[in-house]
Amino acid sequence: MQNTSELLDHRKDNALAAYPLFSYNALKKHRHLLKHESSLLIQICTGKVRLCAFLFERKVLEVAIPRCSYSEAPETAAHLVLNCLQLEHYRENLRQLLYPISLHTYCNFAAATAKGKSASKLVRWLLSTGRFPEFRLAKRYRAKEARKVH
């Protein structure tokens, strides 16, 4: 049996995911996403995504610092979308995809993940950057299935 403090810690870790992800409006944005895209969107929205800031917080031994290797900023999904220097040349494409939503602040990032169309474009853009190697197999499988259909 877990003690009370362990249960409270578990609830605190899951508090962010508990309400916003399971309302009808929140789930609508997943309707046209593939499973791996939906999974990444949930990870982005909860902040529990395989990037240095989260891995460092979880004390993953291989992650010595929470920062992006291209700047002093914590490596988060918002950082990748808004101002990661490595992705600067890709970002203009994302801005065009999301127009008229601007991408300059965390509030802009939150707005882009809140609606189905912009969230799916943002997730697919993030997957195209190669920063999420854990989804490579799903992307290859998707491409293979798409070739079968055509």
| 109-127: pLDDT as tens digits | 999 998 889 999 999 999 9
- Determine the Cα–Cα distance for residues 103 and 92; give it in Å rounded to an integer: 10
Residue 64's SS3 state is: coil
Look up residue 118 and give its two tokens: 């912009």
Look up residue 14 and give its two tokens: 């899951």
What phi and psi, each to the nearest 5 degrees, are found at residue 27?
-75, -25
- Determine the Cα–Cα distance for residues 69 and 144; give it in Å rounded to an integer: 33
- Determine the Cα–Cα distance for residues 98 and 37; give it in Å rounded to an integer: 17
Helix (H) or strand (E) holding 121: helix 116-128
39-55 pLDDT per residue, tens: 999 999 999 999 999 99
**pLDDT given at position 136:** 82
Helical spans, DSSP H, in 29-115: 35-46, 52-57, 77-82, 88-98, 106-114
Predicted TM-score (pTM) of the model is 0.76
Q: Enumerate residue ranges in the chain where pLDDT < 50.
A: 1-21
**pLDDT given at position 101:** 87
What phi and psi, each to the nearest 5 degrees, are found at residue 7?
-65, -40
Look up residue 113 and give its two tokens: 């993940």
Neighbours of 139 (CB within 10 A): 17
**pLDDT given at position 150:** 62
**pLDDT given at position 15:** 42
